[in-house]
C-alpha cells in the first residue's frame, strides 16, 4: 500500500501534543487534493466524509478521529518540504517502470497568490522536473526569494536520476555548470540558447545563416558542412505550422567560439517555425545546444517534449486545480500543498480507465472511492 512511502517522514511536532498520526494527516491531505481539495478546510471535510473508507480500506489508525483544519494547517506549515518532497519523489520515481531514455523537462512556475502582504514575503516560485513520457513529477525545489532559477536548478538536478535521459531547460538554464552536472550524472542535455550566452549564440546563428545561404557548401568539399534535417508539419486551430530542425555536429561545432567550455557539447540546433493562417505568415528561429550527436528527428523530438511540462503539469495545476488562486501563504504550507498537487496530477495521469482529462478524473475520484483507490494504487 502506498501509505508506506510516508512512514519515514520526520514529525515536526512535540510528542506530548500529538493526537493525530503524521502519516494519517499527510495521506488524508493527498487523497483530498486528488479529489479537488484546495485548502485546509476542504481537506478536513474530505476526511470527515470518507472516515470509514480511510479506516477500512487504507488502514489509517485515526486514534482521535479526523483532525480539524487548524491541526492540518499547523502540521503542513511546519512539515519540512524537503522531507515531503523526498517521500513523494521516491514513490513517483518508482512508477517510471524502466523508462531510462525519456526527456526530463525542468521548468519553473510561480504560485501567484502565495505571497504574504504583512511580512512582504513574495509568492513562492518552484522549479519542477517533469518526466514527459511517464507523465510524472519527479520533484521540485523552491527558489529562494533573493535569487532565481539558476541557483535552484543544480539543487533539483542533484535529486534526480538522469542517467540515460535527456534533460531540457529553457534559456535560463543554459549554463556551463549545468551542462557539466548533467553529463557527470550520466544524462544528455538540450539547452535553449538565447541572450544569456551572447557570444556563443551569435556564433551559432552566424554558422547557420552562412550554411543556409550557401546550401551547406555542398559543392566545396573543403568547406562542406555536415548536417541533419527533420521536418514536422501540423494543423491546429485553422493554422498550418511547419517546424524545420537543422543539426550541425563535428568540426564546425568544435571550432565555435566558447564551444570548448561546454562539457560534452556535440551539436548545435536551429529550429525554424513557420506559421500560416490565411495570408498571414510568421517565421521564428530558435537555437539550441546539445550533447547529442547529429540526429535531427531525435533532438527535435526532445525540444517538442519540453513543452509537455507546460501542457501536462503547469496548465493542469492552473486550470484543473486553480493553483494560482490558492491564498495559502504561511510558512511551509504553500510549498507542501504544491507538492501534493504535483503528486496528484502525476497519479491521476497514470490511471487510464477513464479517457477524460485530469479535471474530470478528480471529480470521478471524489464521487467514487473505488476509482480513487485505483489512482492511489497505480
Assess contact for 207 and 252: CB atoms under 8 A: yes
pLDDT at residue number 119: 67
Task: Give whole-number Cα distances, 153 to 95, 252, 294, in Å.
Answer: 23, 30, 27
Assess contact for 230 and 245: CB atoms under 8 A: yes
CA distance linking residue 225 with residue 236, whole number of Å: 34
Location of C-alpha cell 490558492:
326
CA distance linking residue 378 with residue 301, whole number of Å: 27
270: nearest Cα among 291, 251, 244, 242: 244
> Strand, helix or coil at 65?
strand
pTM for the whole structure? 0.91
Assess contact for 6 and 27: CB atoms under 8 A: yes
> Strand, helix or coil at 269?
strand
Distance of CA 85 to the CA centre of its chain: 13
Tens digit of pLDDT at every position of the chain (378 positions): 688 899 899 999 888 778 999 999 999 999 999 999 999 999 999 999 999 999 999 999 999 999 999 999 999 999 999 999 999 999 998 888 767 789 999 998 988 767 666 766 777 889 999 999 999 999 999 887 656 788 899 999 999 999 999 999 998 889 999 999 999 999 999 999 987 788 899 999 999 999 999 999 989 888 999 999 999 999 887 889 999 999 999 899 999 978 889 999 999 999 999 999 988 999 999 999 999 998 999 999 999 999 999 999 999 999 999 898 887 878 899 999 999 999 999 999 999 999 999 999 999 999 999 999 999 998
The three grid cell numbers given for residue 295, joined into one nine-digit string: 540526429
pLDDT at residue number 120: 65
Assess contact for 69 and 43: CB atoms under 8 A: yes
The three grid cell numbers given for residue 97, joined into one nine-digit string: 517502470
Residue 56's φ and ψ, nearest 5 degrees, are -75, -35
Looking at the chain, which runs of residues are DSSP E strands? Answer: 103-110, 125-131, 136-142, 166-169, 188-193, 227-236, 239-249, 267-277, 280-290
CA distance linking residue 238 with residue 240, whole number of Å: 7
Strands 280-290, 188-193: pairing is antiparallel
Assess contact for 232 and 217: CB atoms under 8 A: no
| Torsion from C-alpha of 101, 314, 30, 320, nearest 10 degrees | -130
292: nearest Cα among 255, 325, 267: 267
Amino acid at each position: 500500500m502506498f501509505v508506506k512511502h510516508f512512514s519515514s517522514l520526520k514529525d515536526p511536532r512535540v510528542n506530548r501534543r500529538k493526537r493525530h498520526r503524521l502519516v494519517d494527516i499527510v495521506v488524508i491531505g493527498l487523497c483530498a487534493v486528488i479529489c479537488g481539495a484546495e485548502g485546509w478546510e476542504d481537506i478536513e471535510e474530505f476526511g470527515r466524509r470518507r472516515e470509514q473508507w480511510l479506516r477500512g480500506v487504507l488502514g489509517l489508525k485515526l486514534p482521535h478521529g479526523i483532525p480539524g483544519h487548524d491541526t492540518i494547517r499547523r502540521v503542513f506549515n511546519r512539515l519540512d518540504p524537503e522531507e515531503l518532497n523526498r517521500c513523494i519523489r521516491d514513490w513517483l520515481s518508482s512508477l517510471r517502470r524502466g523508462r531510462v531514455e525519456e526527456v526530463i523537462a525542468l521548468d519553473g512556475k510561480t504560485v501567484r497568490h502565495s505571497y504574504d502582504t504583512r511580512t512582504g514575503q513574495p509568492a513562492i516560485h518552484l522549479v519542477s522536473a517533469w518526466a514527459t513520457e511517464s507523465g510524472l513529477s519527479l520533484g521540485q525545489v523552491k527558489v529562494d526569494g533573493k535569487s532565481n532559477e539558476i541557483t535552484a536548478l543544480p539543487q533539483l538536478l542533484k535529486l534526480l536520476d538522469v542517467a540515460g535521459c535527456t534533460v531540457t531547460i529553457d534559456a535560463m538554464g543554459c549554463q556551463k555548470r549545468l551542462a557539466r552536472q548533467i553529463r557527470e550524472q550520466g544524462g544528455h542535455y538540450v539547452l535553449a540558447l538565447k541572450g544569456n550566452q551572447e557570444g556563443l549564440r551569435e556564433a551559432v546563428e552566424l554558422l547557420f545563416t552562412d550554411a543556409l545561404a550557401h546550401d551547406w557548401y555542398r559543392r566545396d568539399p573543403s568547406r562542406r558542412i555536415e548536417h541533419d534535417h527533420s521536418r514536422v508539419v501540423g494543423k491546429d486551430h485553422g493554422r498550418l505550422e511547419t517546424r524545420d530542425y537543422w543539426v550541425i555536429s563535428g568540426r564546425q561545432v568544435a571550432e565555435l567560439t566558447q564551444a570548448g567550455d561546454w562539457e560534452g557539447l556535440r551539436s548545435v540546433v536551429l529550429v525554424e517555425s513557420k506559421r500560416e493562417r490565411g495570408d498571414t505568415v510568421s517565421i521564428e528561429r530558435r537555437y539550441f545546444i546539445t550533447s547529442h550527436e547529429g540526429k535531427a528527428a531525435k533532438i527535435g523530438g526532445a525540444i517538442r517534449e519540453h513543452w509537455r511540462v507546460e501542457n501536462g503539469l503547469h496548465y493542469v495545476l492552473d486550470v484543473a486545480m486553480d493553483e494560482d488562486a490558492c491564498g495559502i501563504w504561511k510558512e511551509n504550507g504553500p510549498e507542501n500543498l504544491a507538492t501534493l498537487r504535483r503528486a496528484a496530477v502525476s497519479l491521476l495521469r497514470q490511471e487510464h480507465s477513464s479517457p477524460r482529462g485530469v479535471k474530470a478524473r478528480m471529480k470521478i475520484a471524489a464521487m467514487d472511492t473505488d476509482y480513487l483507490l485505483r489512482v492511489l494504487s497505480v
